[in-house]
Structure 1
Amino acid sequence: NLPHVGIELPKTWVKVREALEGDSREYISLEEYMNICQKHGFTKQEDKLQLSGYLHDLGVCLHFQDDDFLIKTVILKPTWGTDAVYKVLDNPQVIEKLGKFERNDLANIWHEDKYADMRPELLRLMMKFKLSYEIPSRPGTYIAPQLLSVNQPDFNWDESNNLILRYKYDFMPKGILTRFIVEMHSDIEQQTLVWKTGVVLAKYESRAEVIEYYNQREIQVRVAGKRKKELLVVINNELEKIHKSYERLQYQTLVPCNCKSCNDSQNPYFYNRDVLYKFRDNNRYQIQCQDSSDMVDVQRLIDDVLPTSPNLEKSMSEPVTRNQVFISYSHQDQEWLTKLQKHLKPMIRNQKLLVWDDTKIQPGAKWREEIKNALAAAKVAVLLVSPDFLASDFIADNELPPLLDAAEAKGLTIIWIPLSSSGYDETEIEKYQSAHPPNQPLDSLNSAQENKAWVDICKKIKAAILG
């Protein structure tokens, strides 16, 4: 019943597919893929990308066009990617650490030649499939949530005046809560209150407990705090997004009763949300609690826990303050980004330094919007300058202009790091402070000199963010 079944394909498509399936390599670059298409009669780039999207949907190859990092690679052997992922998930050390691993561990896990040059892409693949996330306070450290402890950690909970919501499934697919944990990982309380079947979130001066009861086919949510409805709206929205990704998923959203008997109870009577909406739409303003027999106001039931308007979440967003470091770099310089992250890690721990780079963008997120928000929140911008950085049209068009504008308005400090010799003096970057002498780029230093340079650079970043 899928729409593409039975459709005749142009011969050029079949020839490209045969060429890709006959290639013994695990992956090729986007440029190589484009050349193969060109060789078999394709002339327009959009047609080449349309074909790779079609082959991706069929599972012939993997090409993630919605990811700026992964789009540069066409994976010819999907099982190669799957095997690489399971090398991490099945690794004894990762299992022993309950799913925690560091970027450095991947060099040992993916030590074979066929993985050696693709570790950043494979890590991104794991994040794309919601199989891992980076711990916000510890750059370079990741969690695979399906390997978390099955034991719920100890924590206190204020049971007074909670907002409660339940989701009941006719059939419950595995992985809903795992995906939810990945999506909400930045709000996990202390980054420790998370386990295989549950998580505690802290946001908007409130706390939320979200627990999956798989045998009961149910997810239960309760929220306490000052702005609990706002947090509950965010949780509901995230779960609804996940629900929509499953075709024909049947479930009920259950809303708690607020009659005198049920109010402030941890075990109130629950109404099906859709029934409440039906009552409201039919101008039936009251419904009976089946436990107390009291009549209850339908609109109040809805307003207590559900969004009152589609723009509620947008309207409750907090004002943006400039309090973080924004790192701008070329993906060709990934190894230099990793070095900077490593040297900044002690300051992130001790000074609560907030550092953002585009590896923080979760797969499927609206990346332009995320970059825009991160730029707006930046107090210090660190530019990793190299010939690849200066040659990047994306950086020149999307990242540098807002950074330079903010610097002109005195809302942001720009610090740039010379990775290698480049024509920086032909650009606006020349006007700004270099964190290291440009005539001694980092790639010209020996190991000891480079480490010392990184220490000095990080001190300058710290001074700028605290100044």
Structure 2
Amino acid sequence: MSEKALERIRKAKAEKATTLNLSSCDLEKIPEEVRDMIWLESLDIRENQALTDLSPILKIPNLKSLRFQSTRIYELTPVSELQNLELLYCENTQIIDLAPLAKLKKLQSLNCSATKVADLTPIANLSKLHTLRCVSTRVVDLSPIANLTNLTDLNIGQTQVKDLGPVAKLLNLTDLFCFNTHVSDLVALSNLHKLEELHCDGTNITDLSPITHLTNLHALSCFNTLLTDLSPIKLLIQKGIPVKWQDFEEYISSRSGEKSFILLKGTPLIIPPIEFAQEGNEAILEFFDQLGDDRTPLNELKIIFLGEGAAGKTSLIKRIRKETFNPKESQTHGIRIRKTPFEIGGDTINAHIWDFGGQEVMHATHQFFLSRRCIYILVLNSRSDEKAEYWLKHANSFGGSSPVLVVLNKIDENPGYDVNRKQLLEKYPQITGFYRLSCKNDEGIADFEKALQEQVARSDTRRTPFPKAWLAVKQHFSDMQADYIESEVFRQVCAENGVDKIFSQDVLLQFLHDLGVVINFRNLKNFDTQILNPLWLTNGVYRIINSPIVAGQKGLMHERDFDAVINDPHFNTTNTQEKPFRYPKNKLEYIVRVMQEFELCFPLENHSYVVPQLLPVDEPEFRFEGTVLHFVLRFPDFLPDSVFPRLMVKLNRFIDGDLRWRTGMVLHKPSVFNARARVRADREDKEIRIDLCGEEPRRFLSFIRETVREIAADFTKLDYDEMVPIPGAKKEFKRYSMLVAMEKAGKKDVFSEELEKDVSLASLLDGVEEPVMRDEIEQLPVQAFVSYSHKDLDYLEELRAALAPLIRLNKLKIWDDRDINAGEQWEKEIFRELEAADIVLCLVSSDFVASDFCWKKEFEAALKGHHKGTKTVIPIRLRQCDWDDLPIAKLQAAPSSNWINQSNDRDAAWTEVSKQLRPAMDKAKQRKKKLLEKQRKLR
């Protein structure tokens, strides 16, 4: 027995204390000294891993509370004599049988979670029981607890329970947890009017109607279920219970102090569409108000054709549209969108069919339009089947679980043509079928059309109801002939059709964008060109990517050349079937900004842009000095063409002069990282190789890795392995994730096959990454709110760029008011984000101080949180002003030595701001860690 246990026993005896805590005392048995402490009412012996026997407690008849979680105790017989027991926690033990508890009539709280308990019959008559937790047990049947009418808290999460019927009589229930069970309906809950909290996430429930009248409900967790309709809980939403597109872990890590929530992430919502649920309560209620009692389905969807050039995509589309087959069909350039009706079940369903050009140089632009709620059709022929997985990965990465129909075309030319169907189905389960056909002689066309109609019929967008007013707006823009319109025109059309609230207009606009009817980029709203004809936009982008002018300038495009590049007469004669596009000078910058937004180009300081795909192919001469650190990112299945150009765009401010080429770049910015890096992509090997030297190679490497991770997150399923080279070995690499797992498991070494000896894990991991980067606390996100005057917008951009290392390495998330749409709800959104922030950055200038909103509202609210210790306020000194006597001047400001606009070295000044922000982030992470641990215990 440990000295710690003896000391606690001595003290308890001396004071004749009724409570004894012997948790985590390395006990192998209950000390003999405890036997004669008959006055004890509470005994805590949890977290003693070697403890197996409870027999000594037989001598303590007055026990009311007994906790022995996380022990090896397997037998409850000694407990049967404790007639005064009110609380028993035996979580994470070897307990199987609850029979010894049958006579404990005073028992009020029982936690037998993470045990092998399967039968609840022994507790059927414990009428005083008010709390029962049997999470992660073998319980299937709840019938034994049907008459425990005093139960208020029931947790049966992660069990095999299917039927909640026995719960129907538990009218005092306030908290019910049935997450990750086989429950599929909530009918049994319809009369549980005292229910306040319901966790049914991870189940097969489809309908919330049974809980419509449970007006005391304030916490509902139903993420990762099969819910399609939120109408039954409209009253809860109207009461203001926050709707969040989050799971439970995300919720508790991003919000503090809120006990009311509706969590919906991962549900296939139709009413309202997911987009509205993601926007929150206001959007949902606006949708319901507009919808009224009309449930007319939208009956529209998007169908995307993928495949190599000359695979026969256009010919197949013509067959679907009942058009004449042309054996000399010209190859599609850019993109064509065709509205095609399907007659199904008496309804006309309009499909927007997108035919992408198969040219490789255009593949990176597919990200504009690939989405999760559409049907993909992959067209292959015998000359392009080696690219089957390339395109399937595209559909998988961008489309998630969207169905894919694989067409094996031109079988009239190659009757024996086929693919390894079993292998492809195993790797890509979203494939719904393979169809061998010939557009030339119609062989297989009928079977394909039947399969396509089945997918169209079950499409979510077919069933989505659209308010009549919204349908009118959508139809107006579907019929429009203009290539683009201004924002004011869109709002005017909305108002004319009854959609008069700005918030509703903005949400509708985004939904139309996602549907593919119009294109709108929220981050480019300042250009006042919110609505575009997709063909007008894509043709403009394609013209830049295919421009002989830009190619001749080795990927450089000057502002003065925009007109010549985009309005090059060559493009108006390429395809005479398409109408000639013309781009006014006041719209040229917008198209370039779209490319910049999607990371297809990046700006230089001299009013020029770089298009990475058009850079020179040859790698320039470059030599490293000193020790070189090597690292490899290996994409086993698929390295999308867009990944490396996007990486170049994101890291462009770190590129060392002109050291950039089509597949690589050299990075160097000593004011941020005292290191130099060469980053190269190898398409054949599907790898990105990173070599570094200098004094801070590990931190710079972590920054680059996090940037790649950020890009990969935009794909639904893009897997890659981070590979660590074995020092001294020529070709041997180990997976970084495996090394980290081995370190967590307590391993010290890993065996090198090439060197035939053990290699230190610490030396491998610490060689490529600072140990702090593997710390759990460091991975907790920190929310920063920026309060600023709009006259200081340029400084805000400088701030974001300067904090990029903290954003990518230290999980800093920055929010400013440009992240919301203009409208009547903007102030509410600002204060919601301000309340959620861990850090508030005030960009101080005379305009900031003069702004009533910044000073009197945002700063005063932030300062209250600062004084309460729930957030940290940091003034960023932008432009000198008379602030010495103001409350904000008493706070620790950054930079401490000078104002930003007076600094001779702006990079150095911003670097100081970044460094001064780190202690505040550490403090915030500690706060969040404590909250997370507390919430997990409650869960």
Q: Is the 8 A contact 2:628 2:691 kept in 1?
A: no
Aligned partner (choices 589, 596, 603) of residue 127 of structure 1: 596
Contact 1:21 1:76 in 2 (8 A): no
Equivalent residue for 1:273, pick from 736, 743, 762: 736
Amino acid at match of 2:880: A
Aligned pair partner of 1:53 in 506, 510, 513: 510
Residue in structure 2 matched with residue 199 of structure 1 by the alignment: 665
TM-score by length of structure 1 reads: 0.66
**CA distances 1:192-240 after superposition (whole Å, capped 9, x unpaired):** 1110001110131211111111011111111110011110011000011
Instruction: Give how far 1:328 is off.
Output: 4.9
Q: Distance in 2 between matches of 1:156 and 1:313?
A: 35
Q: 1:178 to 1:311 in 2, by over 3 A?
A: farther
1:143/1:32 Cα in 2 relative to 1: closer, same or farther (>3 Å)? same
Partner residue in 1 for 2:499: 42
Classify the secondary structure of the residue corresponding to 2:754: coil
Q: Is the contact made by 2:510 and 2:520 (CA closer than 8 Å) also made in structure 1?
A: yes
Unaligned runs of 5+ in 2: 1-400, 403-458, 568-580, 781-788, 802-806, 808-812, 820-838, 859-874, 885-897, 908-939
Cα displacement (A) at 1:15? 1.5
- The answer to whether the Cα contact below 8 Å between 1:328 and 1:357 also exists between their aligned partners in 2 is no
Find the residue that maps to 2:638 and give its secondary structure: coil
Q: Distance in 1 between matches of 2:840 and 2:645?
A: 26
Taking the aligned partners of 1:219 and 1:231, their CA distance within structure 2 comes to 15
Please, which of 712, 722, 729 is the counterpart of residue 243 of structure 1? 712
Shift of 1:404: 7.8
Per-residue CA deviations over 1:308-340 (Å, capped at 9, x if unaligned) read 3477699xxxxxxxxxxx99589xxxxxxxxxx
Q: Within 5 A, what are the aligned runs for 1:250-399?
A: 250-258=719-727, 261-262=728-729, 267=730, 269-306=732-769, 307-309=773-775, 328=791, 368=816
Query: Quick check: 2:748–2:761 contact (8 Å CA) kept in 1?
Result: yes
Task: Say if 1:407 and 1:413, in contact at 8 Å, map to a contact too.
Answer: no
Residues 163 and 229, structure 1, Cα contact 8 Å, conserved in 2: no
CA 1:236–1:414 in structure 2 vs 1: closer, same or farther (change >3 Å)? closer
| Alignment of structure 1 residues 20-169 onto 2, 5 Å | 20-70=477-527, 72-111=528-567, 114-135=583-604, 138-158=605-625, 160-169=627-636
Counterpart pick for 1:406 among 864, 880, 895: 880
- 1:257-311 CA distance string (max 9 Å, x none): 24xx34xxxx352111222233233333322112112212334422322333477
Name the CA shift for 1:144/1:252 in 2 (closer, same or farther; >3 Å): same
Q: Which has the higher contact order (CA 8 A, sep 6+)?
A: 1
Task: Describe the shift of the 1:68–1:402 C-alpha distance in structure 2 as closer, same or farther (beyond 3 A).
Answer: farther
Q: Secondary structure at the match of 1:52?
A: helix
Q: In 1, Cα distance between the equivalents of 2:732 and 2:512?
A: 49
Q: Distance in 2 between matches of 1:327 and 1:194?
A: 35
Question: Which residue identity does 2:712 align to in structure 1?
Answer: H
Kept after mapping to 2: 8 A contact 1:87/1:110: yes
SS at match of 2:881: helix
Pair 1:45–1:313, CA change in 2 (3 A): same
Residues 422-452 of structure 1, C-alpha deviations (whole Å, 9 max, x = no match): xxxxxxxxxxxxxxxxxxxxxxxxxxxxxxx
Equivalent residue letter for 1:189: D
Report if the CA contact (8 A) 1:407-1:414 is conserved.
Answer: no
Q: Contact 1:287/1:296 (CA < 8 Å) preserved in 2?
A: yes
Name stretches of at least 5 consecutive residues in structure 1 with no aligned partner: 315-325, 331-354, 384-389, 416-460
Q: Is the 8 A contact 1:60 1:76 kept in 2?
A: no
Report the AA paired with residue 747 of structure 2: R
Which SS does the other structure have where 1:407 is aligned? coil
TM-score normalised by the chain length of structure 2: 0.34
Q: Which amino acid aligns with 1:406?
A: Q
> Does structure 2 conserve the Cα–Cα contact (< 8 Å) formed by 1:134 and 1:360?
no
Alignment match, 1:454? none
Deviation at 1:360, TM superposition (A): 11
The change in CA–CA distance for 1:122 and 1:359 in structure 2 (over 3 A counts) is farther
Identity score, percent: 21
Change (3 A) 1:382 1:202: farther
Contact 1:256 1:270 in 2 (8 A): yes
Shift of 1:11: 2.2
Q: Cα distance 1:360–1:178, how it changes in 2: closer, same or farther (>3 A)?
A: farther
Paired residue for 1:10? 467
Kindly tell me the number of residue pairs found equivalent between the two proteins.
361
- Rate the CA distance shift 1:370–1:69 in 2: closer, same or farther, 3 A: closer
Task: Report 1:168-183 matches (<5 A).
Answer: 168-183=635-650
**What is the one-letter code of the residue matched to 2:668?**
A
- Return the letter of the residue paired with 1:38: A
Quote the residue 2:687 is aligned against: 218
- Select which of 210, 226, 232 maps to 2:701: 232
Could you say if the C-alpha distance between residues 194 and 100 of structure 1 is closer, same or farther in structure 2, counting changes exceeding 3 Å?
Answer: same
Alpha-carbon distance, 1:368 to partner:
3.7
> Which residue in 1 is equivalent to 2:930?
none
- The equivalent residue for 1:346 is none
